[in-house]
Amino acid sequence: MVKDTSMEKNLWNKWLSNKSEENTNDLIENYMYLVNYHVQRIAVNLPKNVSKDDIKSLGLYGLFDAILKFDNSRDLKFDTYASFRIKGAIIDGLRKEDWLPRTTRDKVKKIDHAMESLEQSLQRDVTTDEIAEYLGLTVEEVEDSLKDSFFANLLSMEEKSKNNSEETKEGIGYLIPDDREPLPEGNLVQKENYQELSKCIQQLNENEQMVLSLFYDKELTFTEIGKILGLTTSRISQIHKQAIVKVRHLYKKI
């Protein structure tokens, strides 16, 4: 996307001289693509019952908050700062809402019990196909339930690893540069959590590790990853889902 920097600068100058509703709306409209981008990415990991419109509203709040709090004197691009705020607002909003349906929570419990029972019986790791057959569910139901539960666990893990300051709650793995630092015990918990998560990811096959790395670290879309790996978008989506299910299973065993 080629940006018109002169127009962007003009919008900021107008807003700084007069923070009217009209000038604020012009800035929001200019950066709306950031909200749409992060809504699309986060929605991939959420259950179908979570409305994209609700996530978008959270993202818009984050963008508005970023505009109000952005310090033009700092050596930081607004796009970068706003991305942190948008992601943080969405993740915080999801934390506050019990967005994982009770039926999914109950299903995850059944799946966990089935995993333990089958592993004890077969003395090996079990596949989602075997779990699905054991419970009379489809493979997709098993994978989707575990994926949703894994993302919920990530939200919980991140929340516990930070202090209670509203300024430092910026979502999964993202922190806005700030003079304040998380408490020492928070840093320790976070470090241990990610070390454990890293060990789980290292046990995945090469394609699964690559998809997770390109999606979460490089922030590429499934379509872009598919072009790199020479696979279809639907196949990348499937690999991503399988990888998340495996990581959740491995992490639960630690």
CATH classification at residue 158 = 1.10.10.10
On whether both 115 and 216 belong to a single domain, the answer is yes
Q: Which residue has the higher pLDDT, 182 or 123?
A: 123
Look-up: residue for tokens 């304040």? 180
Which domain does 244 fall in, by range?
102-253
Whether residue 195 is predicted with pLDDT greater than 50 in this model: the reply is yes
Confidence check: pLDDT of 175 > 60:
no
Higher confidence at residue 70 or residue 72?
A: 70
pTM value is 0.62
* Of residues 251, 62, 54, 56, the one with CA closest to residue 149: 251
Asked if residue 126 and residue 231 are part of one domain, the reply reads: yes
Q: Above 60 in pLDDT, residue 171? A: no
Q: Is the pLDDT of residue 3 over 90?
A: no
Query: Is the pLDDT confidence value at 5 over 90?
Result: no
**pLDDT tens profile 86-100:** 988 988 888 777 677
**Which CATH number do you get for residue 84?**
1.10.1740.10
Q: For residues 64 and 114, state if they share a domain.
A: no
**pLDDT tens per residue across span 131-165:** 999 999 998 888 888 887 777 766 665 554 444 44
| 86 and 113 within one domain | no
pLDDT at 154: 65
Residues 138 and 231 grouped into a single domain: yes
Q: Are residues 189 and 80 in the same domain?
A: no
Q: Which of 56, 67, 58, 2 minimizes the C-alpha distance to 31?
A: 67
Residues 110 and 202 in one domain: yes
Domains in the chain: how many in total? 2
